[in-house]
Structure 1
């Protein structure tokens, strides 16, 4: 009997050695992507792991603010997705943990650079360029030509036809703010935004909300990441996507493990899983058309290619710095936000 028990124990141990590691317990996840993608990630991860996910969806700026508020007693384990600048700011504030995933060498150079710039406290999970989407039916009905350049958006003919998010809550809008500063110079960029403000009907909380409003016919133009406009077209709405003629910025959507995470091992399991080509290839199932960071992932045919877009040399290190962010947002509040209220 003892011999049988010994053999069984040895066989079980050998099987366990070749099976993939599975952690048990819970994972507290903040997701800053579109809710449909967040729900897909939660569902897929729980289906393949013995880990229950407590997921909260919020914009990038809100996620950053949450990590700051929780700094002394973190309740979040992983912050997945959302624009890279707030992730870099969280790294700069020492709110996130250094972690070098074994998946790192499978990633695109821009995703690896994001990790290097942050001291390996964040990593790139996808990328996409900034632009806008417009409702073709609304512009045609009103006899308005489609805007092709940033300068076009300040034309008085678009008064009441533009939405963009608030950069305090939205990583998309902060990317737009930082893009304009790099494209024009700070003073010129704020002068531009004052002119643009005359045409803006709403500064939304979420970065993708403006083009969703355009898709529903509530506004003509939504300034967003181009892949969010593509998603509306894919869903059957009369939305066309524009890459600004002067050039534009882009995001490196990122992922970070929170310093002091209560479920650290589970956070690392999710982190590595989220960087795999199989998982990243599923994004299109949630109408998300960003460029995946894993070189082996399937790129959706609808995804706007960075090589086809005139991009600025976006300075992620500078505009991912907490002090730079604070200064730009304070000026935006004084000169743009106050005028909008």
Structure 2
């Protein structure tokens, strides 16, 4: 080895050692954020707090929620960054969250903040249900575009619809809980019985039905509007349909897990999650964010979508989650993708 190579090796070793020493704290962060976004989230945070290392644990909404509940007596996570607010309400009811008001929380849209005097969770962004309709594939099959949720029970769509499983997907759960609110319990389950007759399969991802519709694998995917807008902007022959009865929605949110070993670092992360910089980052993947004035117009995002968002009863969704999922599984789980 040359003197130059030895010197460079020594420099590299010192750099690695210095980086390791600089990360004074590590946080285990549970999330349902899209996997491709995790590095960008961590890099943006570390630009401000290079001394705090994030160790991600990522899965779908249902899996992360179940994991947190299973660990309630021995928490493994320090922070939840990017999980459905309905899930965090459930964790709050179990006494699993550390109440904390992040610096600047008063600047956020109030509907994105837990109503307690010291909030247990704070919202980041919202995603809104819609129907992704592949016009090319639908025309081949002689289908006509639906205009309402109830239209999806029409026999012409038999075998031509994919939607997410609500036990594993936050999008699937917001669909099911919103239908029970829109139609009422009895009529809501009756609607889902009819819809089930036309379902080809239930996925374990909320974005998958729209991606599959965009690729032409299925003509109709029940998903969320931002995914449809992105796919359409990329050239997919999609129409993004806003059903006339109104659409469900949920928000991604953050919280500190009670019992964290490093409360100070966890609070620094929560402080960051509500900043303008963080909300600008969320806006890359979501059209609706918590910080007013940040969201930029999204190409192909339905103009009437925000007006169609129902007055979502998050308490109903959270308090009845287990019963809703049990009933849904008993009726429909036979068409779910393998886990």
Q: TM-score category by the smaller chain?
A: 0.7 to 0.9
SS at match of 1:252: strand
Taking structure 1 as reference, are residues 263 and 218 closer, same or farther at Cα in structure 2, changes over 3 Å only? farther
Shift, 1:304, TM fit: 5.1
SS at match of 1:297: coil
1:253 corresponding residue in structure 2: 252
**RMSD (CA atoms):** 2.2
CA contact (8 A) 1:107 1:295 kept: yes
Matches within 5 A, 1:22-41: 24-41=24-41
Shift, 1:56, TM fit: 2.3
CA contact (8 A) 1:24 1:266 kept: no
Shift, 1:310, TM fit: 2.0
Tell me how many residue pairs correspond in the alignment: 314
SS at match of 1:110: helix
1:158 corresponding residue in structure 2: 157
2:312 corresponding residue in structure 1: 314
Deviations 1:249-289 (A, max 9, x none): 2212211111112232222111111111122112344xx13
Q: Runs of 4 or more off by more than 6 Å in structure 1?
A: none
CA contact (8 A) 2:283 2:289 kept: no
1:52 corresponding residue in structure 2: 53
Shift, 1:223, TM fit: 1.0
Deviations 1:92-147 (A, max 9, x none): 111211111122111012113xx116961111111232112122221122221221
2:9 corresponding residue in structure 1: none
Answer yes or no: is 1:301 the counterpart of 2:302. Answer: no
Q: Which stretches in structure 2 are left out of the alignment for 5+ residues?
A: 1-21
Match of 2:325 among 306, 324, 329: 329
SS at match of 2:261: coil
1:227 corresponding residue in structure 2: 226
CA contact (8 A) 2:23 2:53 kept: no
SS at match of 1:53: strand
Answer yes or no: is 1:197 the counterpart of 2:196. Answer: yes
1:62 corresponding residue in structure 2: 63
CA contact (8 A) 2:27 2:265 kept: yes
Measured in 2, the distance between the counterparts of 1:280 and 1:208 equals 21
Shift, 1:235, TM fit: 3.0
State the TM-score, normalized to the length of structure 2.
0.86
Answer yes or no: is 1:87 the counterpart of 2:88. Answer: yes
Measured in 1, the distance between the counterparts of 2:132 and 2:117 equals 32
